[in-house]
Amino acid sequence: MIVIEAKKLTKRYGNGKGVQELNLAVNKGEIFGFIGPNGAGKSTTIRMLLQLIAPTAGELSILGTRIGGDHPELRARIGYLPSEIRLFPDMTGKQALEFAAAVHGIELANSPAARYVERLQLDTKQKIKSYSLGNRKKLGILLSIVHNPDLLILDEPTSGLDPLMQQEFYDMLRELNERHGTTIFFSTHVLTEVEKLCDRVAIIREGRLIRVSTLEEIAADGGHRIEAMFREPGDKRDEYGIRAIDPGAIYENGHHIFHVGSSLNDVLKLLSEKQVHELNIRKPTLEERFMDEYRKPQQQPQDRSVN
Ligand SMILES: Nc1ncnc2c1ncn2[C@@H]1O[C@H](COP(=O)(O)OP(=O)(O)OP(=O)(O)O)[C@@H](O)[C@H]1O
C-alpha cells in the first residue's frame, strides 16, 4: 500500500518560490528521509502533506485518501512533529500528554507515548515553561505519537537533542516502525540521521526532487573523488580543463575538488601533463555523495528514477 502519493505536486508562492512537480510514492512501513539544503522546499512539502496549505497544482493522496477539501478522519491517523513546537507553557508535560490523548479520545496509559516517557527520561511533572529545548523536543515527539498514528511526519526531529538522546530517539522510531508498522516520513539536514534510519531517501533542491533512491543505490554509485593541488597557484578549473571533466568541480583554498565516473584514464592523462603538488583519489563517502547531489548543476526535472 502506498501511504504518500504525490503526482506533479506543486506549490508556488507569490515570489515564484515553492516546490515544483514533485512525484513521490512512500510505501507502508517505510522510514523515508526527505533531505535538502535550507530553502529547498521541505517544510512546504510537509505542510501540503498535512493539509495546512493547499497545493497550487498536482495530486496528493495520503493513506489512500485523495486530498482536497477537509479530511478530519486523516488527522486521527497522522502524527506530526513540527520543527518548532508551540506548547502551553503553564501545563506540565503530563497534562499536555493527557490533553492530547483526550483530544484523540484515548487513555494516555494505552498510548505508545506512555511507554517512551521513561525511555526519553522526561520529567513530566515539570511545567513546560521550565523545559530546556531538548525536553520540549522530547515532549513534542511524545505528543506526535500519542494516538499511535499510521503515518508519522517529522520536521527536523533531532535538532536540539544531544547525541545520546538522538540515539534513543532513533531506537524509538525504529521500534515504532517495527512494532506498529508506522510509516515514518522525516525531513532533515543531518546526513548521518538518514544513514542511521532510512530505507529510502528523496533529495530536494531548489523546489525540485532531484533523486529518490535507497541508500545502497547512492553508496553504490560509481566514481571517484579527486582532490588536486597544483604548483601554479590559483583556480585552474578552466585553464586545465577540469570543468570540462566535471562541471560541478569546486575550488577551495588551493584545492581543486572534482569527480569522475568509473574510468580514471582521462583525468590521469590530464594530471600527468601538469605540475601536481598534492593528489588524493578515493571513493567518496556517503556524505560527500549527498553533497555532490546538492551541488550538481540542475538537471532536467524528474529525469532521475523517482518511485
Ligand atoms: N509563505 C511563503 N511565502 C513566500 N515564500 C515562501 C513561503 N514559505 C516558504 N517560501 C520560500 O519557498 C522556498 C522553500 O521554503 P521551505 O521553507 O519549504 O524550505 P525548507 O527546505 O523547509 O528550508 P529550511 O531547511 O530552511 O527549513 C524558499 O525559497 C522559501 O523562501
Residue 286 has phi, psi (to 5 degrees) of: -60, -40
SS3 259: strand
What is the rounded distance in angstroms from the CA atom of residue 128 to the CA atom of residue 286? 38
Which atom in ligand 1 lies closest to the alpha carbon of residue 46? 18
Condensed to tens digits (0 to 9), the pLDDT of residues 113-162 reads: 998 898 888 999 999 999 988 889 889 999 999 999 999 999 988 887 88
Average confidence (pLDDT) over 280-303: 70
pLDDT at 300: 44
| Residue 104: inside a domain | yes
Task: Tell me: do 128 and 264 sit in the same domain.
Answer: no
Residue bearing the bigger pLDDT, 190 or 163: 163
Ligand 1 centre to CA of 6 (Å) is 19
CATH number at residue 260: 3.30.70
Condensed to tens digits (0 to 9), the pLDDT of residues 232-290 reads: 999 999 999 999 988 889 999 999 999 888 788 889 999 999 999 999 999 888 777 77
What is the rounded distance in angstroms from the CA atom of residue 25 to the CA atom of residue 3? 7
Which residue's CA is minimally distant from atom 30 of ligand 1? 39
Which atom in ligand 1 lies closest to the alpha carbon of residue 19? 14
Which residue's CA is minimally distant from atom 2 of ligand 1? 13
Residue 306 has pLDDT above 60, yes or no: no
Neighbouring residues of 132: CB distance < 8 A, sequence distance ≥ 6: none
Ligand 1 centre to CA of 13 (Å) is 9
Q: Which of residues 172, 188, 214 is at a domain's end? A: 214
Ligand 1 centre to CA of 96 (Å) is 30
pLDDT at 83: 85
Residue type, 145: I
pLDDT at 301: 43
Task: Tell me: do 49 and 135 sit in the same domain.
Answer: yes
Banded pLDDT at 297 (limits 50, 70, 90): low
Which cell is 268 given?
590521469
Task: Tell me: do 110 and 150 sit in the same domain.
Answer: yes
Ligand 1 centre to CA of 30 (Å) is 26
Task: Tell me: do 276 and 187 sit in the same domain.
Answer: no
Task: Tell me: do 128 and 262 sit in the same domain.
Answer: no
Condensed to tens digits (0 to 9), the pLDDT of residues 175-216 reads: 889 988 999 999 988 777 888 889 899 999 999 998 899 988
| Residue 171: inside a domain | yes
pLDDT at 296: 65
Which atom in ligand 1 lies closest to the alpha carbon of residue 14? 4
Ligand 1 centre to CA of 18 (Å) is 6
Q: Which of residues 185, 214, 243 is at a domain's end? A: 214
Structural domains counted in the chain: 2
Task: Tell me: do 130 and 276 sit in the same domain.
Answer: no
Please check whether residue 221 is in contact with residue 289, taking contact to mean a CB–CB distance below 8 angstroms: yes
Residues with CB under 6 A from ligand 1: 13, 15, 17-18, 36, 38-44
Residue 56 is part of which domain span?
Answer: 2-214
State the ipTM, two decimals.
0.96
Q: What percent of the chain has pLDDT over 90?
A: 57
Task: Tell me: do 33 and 132 sit in the same domain.
Answer: yes
CATH number at residue 197: 3.40.50.300
Task: Tell me: do 241 and 199 sit in the same domain.
Answer: no
Which atom in ligand 1 lies closest to the alpha carbon of residue 36? 21
Which residue's CA is minimally distant from atom 14 of ligand 1? 41
Task: Tell me: do 129 and 239 sit in the same domain.
Answer: no
Ligand 1 centre to CA of 44 (Å) is 6
Task: Tell me: do 42 and 188 sit in the same domain.
Answer: yes
Task: Tell me: do 188 and 238 sit in the same domain.
Answer: no
Task: Tell me: do 208 and 274 sit in the same domain.
Answer: no
Q: Which residue has the cell 517495527?
A: 178
